[in-house]
Structure 1
Amino acid sequence: MARPYSSNKSSFSYPPRYYPDHSASLFDDFRALLVRVFHALVRFWRERGRRIAYGTLLSSVYRLRLNLAYNRLVSFSHLLVALWVVVLLWGERWVFHSKVESCHWSNWEHWPEGAQPHRVALVADPQLIDPHSYPGRPWPLNPLTMLVTDNYLRRSYSQLQSQLDPDSVFFLGDLFDGGREWKTAHGDFKDPEWGPHPKGEQKYLKKWHKTYGEFYWLQEYARFGDIFFDPWVKSGRGKGAEQKRRKMVASLPGNHDLGFGDQIKLPVRNRFETYFGEGNRIDVVGNHTFVSVDTVSLSAGSSDQAKRHDLREIYEPVQNFLGDLKKEKQKAVSRELRLLRGEITESQFKHGIEELDKVKSDDKPTADISAPELPTILLTHVPLHRPPGTPCGPLREKYPPAKRPNGQTTPVFPDHRNAISVSAGYQYQNVLNEKDSENLVEKVGNVVHAFSGDDHDYCFVTHSDAQANVPEITVKSLSMAMGVSKPGFLLVSLHNPLDLTTGKPLTASNQPSQPTLQTHLCLLPSQLSTYLRYVTLALVCIAILAVRAVLVPLLGLRPFALDPVASGGMTAAPGARRGRSALLPVFKAKVEDYDEYALPRGFSASHFLNGNGSANAARDRSGSGSVPGSGSGSGMGHGRRKSHGKGSSAAAAGGKWGWAGAGSGSGSGGRARAAPRIEIPSEGEEEDGYGYGGGGGYNGGKWKARAKGGRGGGLQSRSVVGVMLREFWTTVWRVVWMVVGFFGWLAWKG
């Protein structure tokens, strides 16, 4: 005889549990943990995951089908979205095209007919935003600022290249904002003892040196190339053999790239020149000699610290370049003339082996340094010196020129608001000192025009006799984050035809001083104004959608919001009955057992359905049990278990919780009793699929109201407010996510 509770079946073994093996390696424990997690996920997928995924898929497909209906696609909300698409395309694309198109060369050039000028674009202070720009900003804002400013630079410069297609592009320094702050891989990166960081930046130095080093600077270099090099290369493709020689020069450094004067770190400058080229150079462009001078390094020679410390490594390369400049200019012009004549540009020696005693030195080619002097254009990041208060002219954005007194024809002097401030500070100096400016103009020689950057705003100045009366234009910054509302760039058109044999200009004898260059300031759109237009349109759209949400139930407009039950979702299946929630009961019996708790003979259900029982207390003589106000003459009641006559047959079929059929309701015995019931109004109940609560439903452009007696008035008022709120929220959310998504796509595309 088997023992109690014993079983003849094989013993059941529980699945083995995982116990860590202390003798095993950490890798084995981690692998075992991964295996357990994988098996848990597989088990979840088999038990519940598949059903959840399938239900979610069906619900999504059903909601998609509802949203793809014609009445929802062609709706007022989507009309506003279409309006926003046009506005965003204008603000993020078309306005840049329009602004640059208005600067086309033919709109402002005035050269003789048949002239073929060489066209140059000058770009100043793009100053890519980085962690140095706004060190106190939290994480989400800094990347967003970088994205917005980069897109502005990219769109502006791409339109410059695609529409204007300049022959040459020169950058005037400050390519980066914090280029001098990112630690180099080699060399000493310590601040000099006489030039420590200001107190506001001291707390960030440790993080900057640890996080932002050589690799980060290389990423910034690639970022600069993506914004500026790529459009330039793309613009030069497919031009054919007739394309003019194109040149792009971005080697002129600014104080944000290297630092200024005696605070420059040599490893930082070496890194910059390694990737961008020498800061001091000569370029012959459009029969003009462009001389770029690293004036941020030049200023170290005249600083106070140069008298106390050896700073020759900083300023000597610039001084040596200026000392040999006139000779180098002639060599550059000679090479350019030979290139234009189609000759070999460099001296070449005959390949061969000669005995030392038979070498002839009189047949070796030599460079021609007797070339004529071409008009020279000086490029410097720091503007030349001028007396404090020297006005910059009417094109300066920050402050217009001061109003002239009656009868005065010359600009007001001094005009400190309209002028560049003659001041200096940590790692900057607004203008060169007077001695450096005079020496620079003298050593460069034959300067017909100077162009500078650094100030971010436009400034035109004609210098004094000590600086050879050189006209100078300080070019606006191209960036929207440099304190100017309307950034810009400068276009320069060069026309100086030469006799290729002699190198002399082919100007008319009666016009020996005819200018050889023309300039034009091209202004870009104000991003702040664009964003203000976006905000204004957003407020207008919200107001319009609010008014429409109020008018939907009042005027019977077709609602945009789907009924929460009819929309599918997680509360109802696609085939569920619309208008009735499956979560809450709609009807509830008042009594539990009609055999045990039978109503008195002759009592009518209208005693319970009507608020005033005495008004309908009369006995139903015919025994039909009809309910007044039911809309039909049929009775609707419960009977006893034993039916009496045909009038009670429907009630008997209803059972304990059933309803009487829609028959005549008359019985032979007159014992049919009306079953009381309470109707529970459910939120979202509808008449035809577009209802919004107990207040009625939408049908064919008309809102149908329910019974006005009892609690109907309160329910109706509450449901109307719910309709308004749901309609407002649904339409606003639809417009917001579609507009934000499109704006994000435009930002991602650049």
Structure 2
Amino acid sequence: MAPPYSNGYGYSSSALPTPSYDYNYRSNGDFQSICDDIFSSVRSMLDRISGYANGRRRQTIWSLVMKGVQQSKRNMTRRRLLSFPHLLVALWVLVMLWGERWVFASRVRSCDWDHWEDWPAGATPHRLIFVADPQIIDPKSYPGRPWPLNPLTVAITDNYMRRSYTQLQKQLHPDTVFFLGDLFDGGREWKTAHGNFDDPEWAKGNRPADEEKYLNEWHRKYGQDFWMQEYARFGNIFYDSWNLGGVFPGPGQRGRKLISSLPGNHDLGFGAEVKVPARHRFNAYFGETNRVDVIGNHTFVSVDTVSLSAGTSSMRDRVDLEPIYGPVQEFLKSVKATKRRATEKEVRFWRGSIEDLAFDHKVEDINSADYNHLPTMDLKDRAPEFPTVLLTHVPLYRDPGTPCGPLREHWPPAKPPKGQTTPVIPDHRNAISVSHGYQYQNVLSPEDSVRLIKSIGNVVHAFSGDDHDYCELVHTPDQENVREITVKSISMAMGVPTPGFQMVSLYNPIDERGNPLPGSPKTTLQTHLCLLPQQLSTFVRYAVLGVLSVVVLIARAFLVPILNLQPFALDPSSRYPASAVLPVFKAKAEGDEGAARDINPTSSGTSSSKFPSARMMSSARTRGQSMSQRATSPNPKGSQGKWGWGQNNKGPRIEIRRDGYYDNRDRNGGTGGWQPAASSRSRSRSTWGLVGREIWTTCWRVAWMVLLFFGWLTYKG
């Protein structure tokens, strides 16, 4: 007789054998030992955490942990790790590594200087790169987008620029990098710590309606602190990777420079509506907006043309705009002298002389001192003249419909009529639109463009931004036939499918006085457009691979029952350890009550079964004791039971399927036989259930692993 605390099978409820659910996914001994240590540690930790919880809650937590650990053990076997869904995940990993990492290095490497530079043998050119319109995404960019989509857009666009710029530094090692404005998208909207940031009365109502409704929210939520966060974010993308290009400059170069002080209309505003406090803040953190730099024996003149445009605004006669355009006009009045001083200082450096002014140490009477012959860096007509490069955010003026050339992505040039060899003019689709609107103007006014060229002097080339797409042209004689390149945006969110940057190689060898050496090349500047990956094409590849993955997994699911393949999905009945509810049995022994109704005494068929042990829950203990008592009651017929482990004449009961009889005499000449109880309909349902589980399990497994890896790549930047 089994004791009252037993489960009826001869085992006490506290000493039930532990069920094994490896299902052919067995692990080696070392892994089992590690798992046991982990189980022990986790259980101790949970005991401490849930020390004040009741037993039921502690048992529930432990049950969930054990289910998770059991599932992990099954998934860590070799057969499972090398299963088809995981191989498909490995393919996805390679594709995403290419699309999110390797393709950037490949594209930038293809633009290497040696692939397109054409200088004399032994030349040591200065290598410079222009980056235009990063315009990092902020709350102004897509104010109507919902919360999950907007942060994702910010992360993807930031990562695109970070990866591109990182490879730019690693692969190309530029000596100088210039930014051509529009560093932020909403920089002009974020309030400063000091100064009046409100729109002037005459300008209220000029905003587009989709911006006007957000204005109060922007001014309330986004101020100086937010701008500082955006400044740090810009630095994280473009400044932190500067040393990846090397600490030392290239051969024969003075040093490496990064200059990002040229503002755009998204940084300050445009023309009469420039925010002067925003410009003061921009100057404080990025440097003087109007400046002269001598780089590679060329003079680069950066001009704040968004402020200059206020001088030719239609509002100039109605309101005082001098605080906006005054500083840049003062700069242009003295820019030629500033160029001469900068050139002389550079020549002195290469000559080995003292770069700064040196005064004689002597005492003179103030009334007799000679002020007409003071030391100066401005040698006037004796000063050497370097080729001058103009940098402006807004492109110079051109006639409407002036074509931009074949490298423009928005629209290719119009096809000339038969027999015409020159470009079609006007070609409005291939041109930069000569238009303006709230806080923007696509090109400078004719007056400002001519004034820039005349004031600076000796301008051989101009580079601009703002348009986001490439445009190259030679201006008219009134603008001294200056060649201008409008540089592509480096951002993937600026409406141009293929972002890029402009590479410039400078070579102008000089003597000790700053004059070109005999035999120097007539053209001292060469350019090359470097195109970056099309992120939209990358996403299309992901979408195509996603559809193919689903199709392949569905096809495999249908082949599992047909070709008897190893299923990936675990059987639902064996996915987790058995519950505490005892199975329902039917009578086996002839002497049991109801046995005559369930079993044919004349049947010769027998069956055997293995009974998995189950842990008895407190809620099921009474039911187990009742079964034990029934199992030990005397047999009416006095027969001795031979089933089970208990010392009783009435052993455990199992469910016996009702087999059916079939007659195959007509087909095979036999006398008939037994067939399984499962019908064709039930087998069909079982097959479809297997296919459905395979489709869901494999698709879900691939989906969450791929998304997790993509999220990790996005997080790492």
TM-score where L is the length of structure 2: 0.82
Q: Tell me the residue number matched to 2:309.
A: 299
Residues in 2 aligned to 1:738 and 1:546: alpha-carbon distance in whole angstroms: 18
What is the aligned partner in structure 2 of residue 178 from structure 1? 186
Equivalent pair of 1:184/1:268 in contact (CA under 8 Å): yes
From 603, 606, 615, the equivalent of 1:627 is 603
Whichever residue aligns with residue 725 of structure 1, its letter is G
Given that residues 120 and 166 in structure 1 are in contact (C-alpha distance below 8 angstroms), is that contact kept between their aligned partners in structure 2?
Answer: yes
CA 1:73/1:642 → structure 2, altered by over 3 Å: closer, same or farther?
closer
Q: Secondary structure at the match of 1:374?
A: coil
Asked whether the equivalents of residues 589 and 657 of structure 1 are also in contact (C-alpha less than 8 Å), the reply is no
Match of 1:73 among 69, 75, 81: 81
2:564 to 547, 556, 559: 556
Q: In the alignment, which residue of structure 2 is the partner of 1:225? A: 235
Cα distance, 1:727 vs structure 2: 1.5
1:324 and 2:370 correspond: no
Partners of 1:588 and 1:679 within 8 A in 2: no
Alpha-carbon distance in structure 2 between the residues aligned to 1:642 and 1:432: 109
Q: Which amino acid aligns with 2:516?
A: P
The answer for the alignment partner of 1:98 in structure 2 is 106
Residue 522 (structure 1) aligns with? 530
- Match of 1:337, SS? helix
2:140 to 122, 126, 132: 132
Distance (whole Å) between structure 2 residues aligned to residue 498 and residue 287 of structure 1: 8
Offset at 1:559? Answer: 1.1
| Aligned counterpart in structure 1 of residue 122 of structure 2, from 114, 125, 129 | 114
Q: Deviations for 1:650-706, whole angstroms, at most 9, x for unmatched residues? A: 48989696358xxxxxxxxxxxxxxx966599xxxxxxxxxxxxxxxxxxxxxxxxx
Supply the distance in 2 between the matched residues of 1:252 and 1:144 (Cα, whole angstroms).
29
- Give, in whole Å, the separation in 2 of the partners of 1:413 and 1:277: 41
The alpha carbon displacement at 1:384 in A equals 0.4
Q: Which residue of 2 aligns with 1:503?
A: 514
1:587 match: 585
- Shift in Å, 1:60: 3.1
Matches within 5 A, 1:164-313: 164-196=172-204, 197-237=207-247, 244-313=254-323
**Which of 46-55 and 320-329 deviates more?**
46-55
Answer yes or no: is the 8 Å Cα contact 1:594–1:656 preserved in 2: no
Secondary structure, in 3 states, of the residue corresponding to 1:307?
coil
Structure 1 residue 514: Cα displacement = 1.4
Distance 1:639 1:407, change over 3 A: same
Q: What's the secondary structure of 1:119's corresponding residue?
A: strand
Give the 3 Å change call, closer, same or farther, for CA 203–452 of structure 1 in structure 2.
Answer: same
Quickly say closer, same or farther: Cα 1:740–1:334, change in 2 above 3 A. same
Q: Name the CA shift for 1:720/1:287 in 2 (closer, same or farther; >3 Å).
A: same
Deviation sequence 1:445-497 (CA, Å, 0-9, x none): 11100110000000011110110011111000000000101000000001110
Relative to structure 1, the CA distance from residue 429 to residue 648 in structure 2 (aligned partners, 3 Å threshold; closer, same or farther) is same
Please state whether the residue corresponding to 2:240 is helix, strand or coil.
helix
**Pairwise CA RMSD:** 3.1
1:731 to 691, 698, 703: 698
Q: Is the 8 A contact 1:126 1:176 kept in 2?
A: yes
| 1:64, distance to aligned residue in structure 2 (A) | 2.1
SS of the residue 1:133 aligns to: coil
- Report the AA paired with residue 274 of structure 1: A
State the partner residue of 2:494: 482
Cα offset, 1:719, TM superposition: 1.2
Question: Which is worse superposed, 581-590 or 410-419?
Answer: 581-590
Letter in 2 for 1:298: L
Q: Decide whether aligned partners of structure 1 residues 643 and 589 sit closer, same or farther in structure 2, where only a CA change above 3 A counts.
A: closer
The answer to whether the 8 Å contact 1:594/1:640 transfers is no
The change in CA–CA distance for 1:411 and 1:364 in structure 2 (over 3 A counts) is closer
Alpha-carbon distance, 1:364 to partner: 6.1
Q: Which has the higher contact order (CA 8 A, sep 6+)?
A: 2
Structure 2 counterpart of 1:69, one-letter code: T
Residue 534 of structure 1 corresponds to: 542
Q: Shift of the alpha carbon at 1:588?
A: 3.5
The separation in 2 between residues aligned to 1:349 and 1:485, in whole angstroms, is 58
Deviation at 1:141, TM superposition (A): 1.0
- Amino acid aligned to 1:433: S
Deviation of the 1:408 alpha carbon: 0.7
Offset of residue 356 of structure 1: 6.7
Alpha-carbon separation, structure 1, partners of 2:582 and 2:420: 88
Which residue of 159, 163, 184 maps to 2:167?
A: 159
Distance 1:292 1:626, change over 3 A: same
In the alignment, the residues of structure 1 paired with residue 710 and residue 187 of structure 2 have an alpha-carbon distance, to the nearest angstrom, of: 31
Q: 2:477 aligns with which of 461, 465, 478?
A: 465
Match of 1:745 in 2: 712
Aligned-pair distance for 1:585? 2.7
Q: Distance in 2 between matches of 1:479 and 1:116?
A: 31
1:43: how far off?
Answer: 6.2
- Are residue 415 (structure 1) and residue 382 (structure 2) matched? no
Aligned to 1:673: none
1:713 is displaced (CA, Å) by 2.3
Is this contact kept in 2: 1:66–1:567, CA < 8 A? no
How many residues were matched structurally? Answer: 630
Query: Given the alignment, which residue of 551, 571, 575 partners 1:543?
Result: 551
Q: Distance in 1 between matches of 2:536 and 2:126?
A: 34
**CA 1:708–1:211 in structure 2 vs 1: closer, same or farther (change >3 Å)?**
farther
Pair 1:239–1:477, CA change in 2 (3 A): closer
Q: Partners of 2:511 and 2:304 in 1: how far apart?
A: 33
Counterpart residue number, 1:5: none
Distance in 2 (CA, whole Å) between partners of 1:150 and 1:598 is 75
Distance (whole Å) between structure 2 residues aligned to residue 324 and residue 539 of structure 1 = 64
Corresponding residue of 1:577: none
Q: 1:442 aligns with which of 437, 454, 471?
A: 454
Q: What is the CA-CA distance between 1:584 and the residue it aligns to?
A: 6.3
* Conserved? CA contact 1:586–1:680, under 8 Å: no
Q: Secondary structure at the match of 2:353?
A: coil
Contact 2:641 2:649 in 1 (8 A): no
- Measure the CA separation in 2 of the matches of 1:598 and 1:145: 70
Whole-angstrom distance in 2 between the partners of 1:176 and 1:351: 50
Structure 1: tracts of 5 or more residues without a match: 1-39, 573-580, 600-604, 611-624, 633-637, 661-675, 682-706
1:742 to 1:640, Cα distance in 2 relative to 1, 3 A: closer
Q: Which deviations, in whole Å up to 9, do the C-alpha atoms of 1:374-429 show, x marking residues without a partner?
A: 10000000000000000000000010000100111110011000000000000000
Bigger Cα Rg: 1
Structure 1 residue 726 displacement after superposition? 1.1
d(CA) in 2 for partners of 1:332, 1:244? 14
> Could you tell which deviates more after superposition, 559-568 or 147-156?
559-568
Query: How far apart are 1:279 and its partner, in Å?
Result: 0.9
2:269 partner amino acid: G
The SS at the match of 1:299 is: helix
Structure 2 letter corresponding to 1:271: R
Matched-pair contact (CA < 8 Å) for 1:100–1:522: yes
Q: Does 1:142 align with 2:135?
A: no
Question: What SS is found at the alignment partner of 1:377?
Answer: strand
Q: Which moved more, 1:478-487 or 1:228-237?
A: 228-237
Are the aligned partners of 1:322 and 1:443 in contact in 2 as well (CA < 8 Å)?
yes
Aligned counterpart, 2:663: none
